[in-house]
Structure 1
């Protein structure tokens, strides 16, 4: 059994952000391809309702994923919380983390620290704005260093 952890991203006033949508649809693809059989949508309430997990649930069901394959972790607000709060919901220690390419290394580090065997898969960048990706990557570098040094 393989489980996918879909890491949260913003919900905007008018619905899921493009990042949240890309991550969620990539997880749905993994499910339909038979690579995973449990999906955990991670993410609490941000600036706009619903929670990131609830928004992912709606996207997954719309993409044909059965409701019974989806578990919500809807309290977390950080990468560390996404993964730590998902651990009690897991039926396995083998996980596939769906997050953006620049975020994967830190997410895997956090997962390993929580006793998981993890790999990460990134969604397509189709439709992603280059400036947003570059800004996020630049923010991720010091965040990774902080996590690696156990500051966060």
Structure 2
């Protein structure tokens, strides 16, 4: 069985999904309907705005016709590392994992998974990275590399 892990993104005021959260969730729904994954793990805790990222993902997925029985929830994480680690705790190690995230984020997400001893692939919805996202991701890469050097 293959499980898609939707990596978290912001929830906006009023519980609305950010465009990133909506894009990732709808992409996972398409993967499910195409038969590429049999389950979907919604990863993401409570950020600045309620509800949790995972809860908003569930709403999007069920609205897109994904049965609730195919959806798993990990709603404690606040970082990419936690998305993957806590999702794995919930899932166990029996499934193949596909990380669903944006293309600019996918290489770091796969590197984090590898640092946790997980081999996985990633799949990204179509999205044009903006300078802001590239700068933010560059800083996140530096933090990841620094933590790896320190053994964290």
Structure 1 CA distance for aligned equivalents of residues 95 and 142 of structure 2: 25
Aligned counterpart in structure 1 of residue 144 of structure 2, from 130, 144, 147: 147
Structure 2 equivalent of residue 56 of structure 1? 57
Q: Work out the number of aligned pairs and report it.
A: 147
1:1-152 map, 5 Å? 1-14=1-14, 15-91=16-92, 92-125=94-127, 133-149=130-146, 150=148
Structure 1 CA distance for aligned equivalents of residues 20 and 132 of structure 2: 13
Q: How much has 1:100 moved relative to structure 2?
A: 0.8
Work out whether residues 5 and 97 of structure 1, in 8 Å CA contact, stay in contact via their aligned partners in 2.
Answer: yes
Structure 2 CA distance for aligned equivalents of residues 42 and 96 of structure 1: 13
Quick check: 64-73 or 136-145, which moved more? 136-145
Q: How much has 1:121 moved relative to structure 2?
A: 1.0
Structure 2 CA distance for aligned equivalents of residues 70 and 30 of structure 1: 13
Gap regions ≥5 residues in structure 2:
none
Structure 1 CA distance for aligned equivalents of residues 68 and 116 of structure 2: 26
Structure 2 CA distance for aligned equivalents of residues 93 and 142 of structure 1: 31
Structure 1 CA distance for aligned equivalents of residues 145 and 66 of structure 2: 35
Structure 2 CA distance for aligned equivalents of residues 102 and 61 of structure 1: 27
Q: How much has 1:93 moved relative to structure 2?
A: 4.9
What CA RMSD, in Å, does the superposition of the two structures yield over aligned residues?
Answer: 1.6
Partner SS state of residue 49, structure 1: coil
Structure 1 CA distance for aligned equivalents of residues 86 and 48 of structure 2: 20
Gap regions ≥5 residues in structure 1:
none
Structure 2 CA distance for aligned equivalents of residues 27 and 62 of structure 1: 13
